[in-house]
Amino acid sequence: MAHSAPTSGPARSAAQGDINPWAAGGIMFAGVLLLVDGVFGVIKGISGIASDQVYARISNYTFKFDVAAWGWIHLALGILLGFVGWGILKGAAWARVTGVVLAAISLVINFMWLPYQSIWAIISIAIDTFVIWALCTESSKAVI
């Protein structure tokens, strides 16, 4: 009678279909970060809509928008990011792919917004970069 030794580590995880704890932790953290980035977006949006004096005035910039327009962009994106972050924390299948797409859009928008509020834009870009990485890491349960 053949007796096989129990496997451990990555081989055991792959054989039993367990989720890699690092990937699961990263996905959970990405969901929290999306929620935080969404709250930041809502705050940035409300600030821009409420007062045109909140953000720096830019004279010659390719991506120049009215401050209120930037406010509406950040408000809408912030609400979407928060909703998707909540979906990731709930384990919704649609949320991972949507999170990657929205984080990429947020990254580009915050890059365009750099001259208005450099520090907040860099913080948001860093959050979005980590979210994209965390949601794209390998886990044994593929969403797509």
Domain boundaries, the chain: 38-136
**Residue type present at position 127:** I
**Residue type present at position 134:** A
Q: Which residues fall within 8 angstroms of residue 69, CB to CB, at 6 or more apart?
A: none
Per-residue pLDDT at 114: 84
Would you place residue 2 in the very low, low, confident or very high pLDDT band (cuts 50, 70, 90)? low
Measure CA 4 to chain center. Answer: 43
| 3-state helix vs strand vs coil in the chain, percent to 5 | 70, 0, 30
Tokens in use for 64?
């120049």
Per-residue pLDDT at 122: 93
Would you place residue 128 in the very low, low, confident or very high pLDDT band (cuts 50, 70, 90)? very high
The more confident residue out of 82 and 28 is 82
- pLDDT over 60 (residue 129): yes
d(CA 39, CA 118): 18
Would you place residue 140 in the very low, low, confident or very high pLDDT band (cuts 50, 70, 90)? very low
pTM of the predicted structure, to 2 decimals: 0.72
d(CA 71, CA 78): 10
User: Do 113 and 67 form a contact (C-beta atoms < 8 A)?
Assistant: no
Per-residue pLDDT at 85: 94
Residues 8-62 have pLDDT tens digits of 444 444 444 555 565 567 888 899 999 999 998 999 889 888 876 666 566 666 6
